[in-house]
């Protein structure tokens, strides 16, 4: 199988497995251990609660991120278009999935090119950081950004996923120097992102020193990529290796606190297992600017644009009511709202 065919078939099976199998981590996000203090006298008008913010030069209408997922196949093109139309309609930020397939084969670029459907949104390009150790350089990063007219580039760090994949790229040595060069030269901000196992305080500090503008903690508690790879395993032995990591990772709430404490200067996004508007609001109170969801939006987008928009509106309304009952009139106040730890 050629490299491009291999990436395409991997992407197709990732979508199928995520839609059909139980791929949840054995851990929870830890957000269930935090609660807001109810304010019976909020002194706010619900209709005036402000969910907007400016980020990387774009106006965002609600602090919800449609996390990086897909591209590279006709099915992925349709999902990306649905997500883009829904993001444009509701004013959300959106990431496309890893663009490696289209860097290797430019004929696949169309599956990622959603800018025409979402001219105003904050849009993130996406590549695996490890590819910087496998022949990729600044020009590939620039191509990924140009391909989708992105506002920023997400470099994902998926060491464990690569390690439990039969065909994984597992040389993560000496990567930080290369990330630093990309951050220095690329004209758009670079965000470091995990894929569901979170960042430690040490990892966050290293990335901040390398010059990333932000971190998406993508912690444990939601989609587990070792579980996804378990379903792709070609034999029992590979499946057992992947299955051993079902409880691995830093829960999203813990990762967020780690990163906030060790790299307070960075812009933070929280993702990994967020299931509701209240989860997102808690993440903002813990220091994030956006709360990202992947698996949940994949399921909505596989149905229709209308269902995706409806899902977004429900999450948005839940954030708004949560802010009202917690006495936070806008996102800055929410960031300064105290949570009780149970
Ligand atoms: C089908 C699918 C494909 C994904 N592909 C990528 C990817 O290409 N790049 C990336 O950074 N993250 C990717 N992710 C990871 C998500 O962005 C997210 O970090 C992770 O799934 C945890 O969020 P969740 O628990 O809300 O699903 C993917 C997730 C899903 C469900």
What is the per-residue pLDDT across 109-133, written as a single tens digit (0 to 9) for each? Answer: 999 999 999 999 999 999 999 999 9
Using the atom order of ligand 1, give the atom closest to the CA of residue 292: 26
Give dist(CA 263, CA 282) in Å, integer.
19
pLDDT at 1 over 70: no
Q: Kindly report the pTM of this predicted structure.
A: 0.97
Structure token digits, residue 290:
């956006």
Ligand 1 lining (C-beta closer than 6 Å): 14-15, 18, 67-70, 97-98, 126, 154, 156, 193, 195-196, 218, 222-223, 271-274, 293-296, 298
Instruction: Name residues whose C-beta falls within 8 Å of residue 332's C-beta, 6 or more positions apart in sequence.
Output: none
Band (48; pLDDT cuts 50, 70, 90): very high
Bridge partners (DSSP) of residue 193 are 156, 216
Q: Are 251 and 219 in contact (CB under 8 A)?
A: yes
The percentage of the chain sitting over the pLDDT mark of 90, rounded to a whole number, equals: 95
Phi, psi of 195, deg, nearest 5: -125, 10
**Choice from 24, 26, 65, 67 to test ligand 1 binding pocket (greatest atom count within 8 A of CB):** 67
pLDDT at 104 over 80: yes
**What is the Cα gyration radius of the chain?**
19
Summary count for the chain: helices (H), strands (E): 14, 12
């Amino acid at each position: 199988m050629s490299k491009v065919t291999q990436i395409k078939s991997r992407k197709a099976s990732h979508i199928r497995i995520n839609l059909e199998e139980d791929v949840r981590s054995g851990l929870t996000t830890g957000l269930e251990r935090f609660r807001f203090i109810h304010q019976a006298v909020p002194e706010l008008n619900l209709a005036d609660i402000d969910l907007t913010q400016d980020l990387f030069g774009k106006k965002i209408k609600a602090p919800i991120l449609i996390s990086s997922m897909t591209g590279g196949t006709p099915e992925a093109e349709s999902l990306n278009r649905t997500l883009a139309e829904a993001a444009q309609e509701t004013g959300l930020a959106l990431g496309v999935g890893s663009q490696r397939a289209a860097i290797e084969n430019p004929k696949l670029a169309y599956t990622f090119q959603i800018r025409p459907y979402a001219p105003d949104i904050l849009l993130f390009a996406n590549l695996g950081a490890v590819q910087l150790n496998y022949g990729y350089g600044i020009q590939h990063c620039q191509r990924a950004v140009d391909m989708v007219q992105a506002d920023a580039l997400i470099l994902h760090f998926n060491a464990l996923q690569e390690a439990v994949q039969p065909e994984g790229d597992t040389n993560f040595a000496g990567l930080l120097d290369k990330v630093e060069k990309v951050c220095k030269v690329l004209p758009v901000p670079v965000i470091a992102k995990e894929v569901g196992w979170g960042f430690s305080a040490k990892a966050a500090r290293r990335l901040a020193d390398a010059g990333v503008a932000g971190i998406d903690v993508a912690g444990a508690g939601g989609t587990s990529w070792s579980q996804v790879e378990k379903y792709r395993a070609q034999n029992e032995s590979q499946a057992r290796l992947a299955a051993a990591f079902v409880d691995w990772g830093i829960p999203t709430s813990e990762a967020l606190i780690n990163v906030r404490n060790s790299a307070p200067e960075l812009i933070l996004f929280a993702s990994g297992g967020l299931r509701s508007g209240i989860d997102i609001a808690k993440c903002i109170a813990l220091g994030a600017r956006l709360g990202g969801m992947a698996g949940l939006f994949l399921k909505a987008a596989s149905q229709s644009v209308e269902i995706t928009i409806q899902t977004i509106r429900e999450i948005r309304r839940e954030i708004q009511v949560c802010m009202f009952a917690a006495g936070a009139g806008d996102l800055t106040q929410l960031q300064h709202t105290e949570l009780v730890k149970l």
